[in-house]
Amino acid sequence: MINMADSDERKSRILFVDDERNILSSLNRLFFDEDYEIFLAGSGQQGLEILQAHQVEVIISDQRMPGMVGVDFLIRARELQPDAIRIILTGYTDIDSAMRAINEGSIYKFITKPWNDEELKLVVRRAVEFYKLQRANSELLEITQHQNTELAELNETLNQRVKERTKAVFQKNQELKQLNEQLADSFAKVIRMMVNFLEMKSRDLGNHCKRVAASSRYLASEMGLSEEEVSRVEIAALLHDIGKLSMPEKLISKKLNLMTSDELNEWRRHPLLGERALASVENLEEICRIIRHHHENYNGTGFPDGLKGNEIPLASRIITVTDSYDLLINSIYINVSNTRLRAMKALRLNMGIKLDPDVVSKMVQFLHSRKDKKKTRKELELKPFELKENMILSRDLYTTRGVLVFSKDKRLDMGSIKSILDSDRLEKLFTSVYVYT
């Protein structure tokens, strides 16, 4: 059994396997000054012996070796250490071997000889990061399973329908855990899993978070944030109500003005509960800070810390505006004439009080830009194999690794359809494909 705590305290370990001694020497020199512990093996058998004695994060093997070729070695290496990231180093193109490596060895990447030193360093660095992401995902699964167990205990006295729903959530957790053990997961899939929990708790809550995330991503871009910051805002918006998972469903759907004093106090805890739920997950520190402060008011009257103005993270201020607008449109002013105008007026009235004036201005500008677009234009959700030429994407399309395949409004041709099919086969798409009808 792998000791995770021990692996956190030591350097990341890289195993290089190649039958050519000069190649191993070159690789050893290349990574001598890097913060890794390097293992070298002159054959597949030597590599297996090292793996039996040491836990490693990344394995890089030559394909063409006498006795045991690289693919066969990596297949056996996977049995010994299934979580290790596997990379093939080869000096020739062999489609059959490549396909076998993908299907049987779960290869992370192919690198051709001669390699570029800086590119190889970058690939290894990303492979180590990917390994850590897998561990973070496993830890997050344990946290959610623990929370679901607590929910099941609290709901013991509820009716059979609630018990069945709790059982369905537990079964879904088990399915996700099994999937995680079989596939190399990514940070994007961790976020999607959390959104799924929100949807299981309350479909309205899940849809609300998705709409807020889409608007927040746009506003963050308009506010001049970098792509990394924009992605961080989007993720925080998706998870901004994650703390409500521990609340009774009837409290989630209850309007604030109808809550008792005790219910309102419990509801006001959800930013802190959301922060606490994600605090132990590596690389989510900034996301936690954004979630904590998304109910701070611009004039300092919000919660939990009473921050004001620029003391509040910009990402939190953005989410406060998009969250307010979505609640106005889909809760307060739903099915009311002049819904959008009423909502924009409400946003303006709260400028400098609850909401950041600059963010509100960008939001109103965005809403005005959409005013003249056809309201009847609808979306169609399709599988990749259902796509046809001249269809137009209605949403950005990403892989599960967070890589953008095509942007919204892309008109599809045979080449782009083939790219989408290839992306779905090799990495899997983050969502279905959405096109305009």
pLDDT at position 161 is: 67
Whether the per-residue pLDDT at 233 is higher than 90: the answer is: yes
* Segment among 9-23, 267-281, 370-384 with least mean pLDDT: 370-384
CA angle 70, 71, 77 (to 5 degrees): 85
**Distance of alpha carbon 247 from alpha carbon 155, whole angstroms:** 11
Amino acid at 133: L
Neighbouring residues of 187: CB distance < 8 A, sequence distance ≥ 6: 133, 136, 137, 283, 402
pLDDT confidence of residue 183: 37
- The amino acid sitting at 301 is T
H or E element, residue 163? helix 160-182
pLDDT of residue 141: 82
What distance in Å separates the CA atoms of residue 217 and residue 205, rounded to the nearest whole number? Answer: 18
Looking at residue 335, its pLDDT comes to: 65
pLDDT in tens, 214-223: 889 889 988 8
Q: Which residue has the higher pLDDT, 27 or 432?
A: 27
Q: Which token pair is 326? A: 């979505």
Average pLDDT over residues 248-275: 90
234 against 177, higher pLDDT: 234
Three-class secondary structure of residue 100 per DSSP? helix
Side chain identity at 414, as an amino acid letter?
A: M
Looking at every residue in the chain, the average pLDDT score rounds to: 83
pLDDT at position 270 over 70: yes
State pLDDT tens for residues 280-329.
777 788 999 999 999 999 999 999 999 999 999 999 999 999 999 998 88
Q: Pick the closest to residue 433 from 373, 387, 401, 365 (CA basis).
A: 387
- Name the 3-class secondary structure at 58: strand
Structure tokens at 221: 């871009």
Q: Which domains does the chain have, with CATH numbers?
A: 4-127 (3.40.50.2300), 186-369 (1.10.3210.10), 379-436 (3.90.105)
Predicted confidence at residue 185, as pLDDT, reads 47
Q: Is the pLDDT of residue 352 over 90?
A: yes
Report which of 262, 263, 260 is spatially closest to residue 252, judged by C-alpha positions.
263
| pLDDT tens-digit map of 186-204 | 465 667 677 777 878 887 8
What pLDDT, on the 0 to 100 scale, is given for residue 306?
96
- Between CA 33 and CA 11 the distance in angstroms is 13
Model pLDDT, residue 92: 59
Question: What percentage of residues in the chain have a pLDDT greater than 70?
Answer: 83
Q: What confidence tens digit (pLDDT) does each residue in 132-190 have?
A: 888 788 778 888 887 777 766 666 665 666 667 767 767 766 765 555 444 334 465 66
pLDDT tens digits, residue range 32-51? Answer: 888 899 999 999 999 999 99
User: What pLDDT shows up at residue 316?
Assistant: 96
Query: Residue 103 above 70 pLDDT?
Result: no
The pLDDT of residue 294:
96
What sign does the dihedral 376-377-378-380 (CA atoms) show? positive
- pTM for this model (two decimals): 0.47
Residue 374 in this model has a pLDDT that exceeds 50: no
pLDDT for the residue numbered 55: 92
Which 3 state secondary structure label does DSSP give 104?
helix
- What backbone phi and psi angles, to 5 degrees, belong to 296? -75, 145
Q: What share of the chain is helix, strand, coil (3-state, %, to 5)?
A: 60, 10, 30
What confidence score (pLDDT) does residue 96 get?
58
What pLDDT does 367 receive? Answer: 81
Query: 85-90 and 36-41: which strand pairing?
Result: unpaired
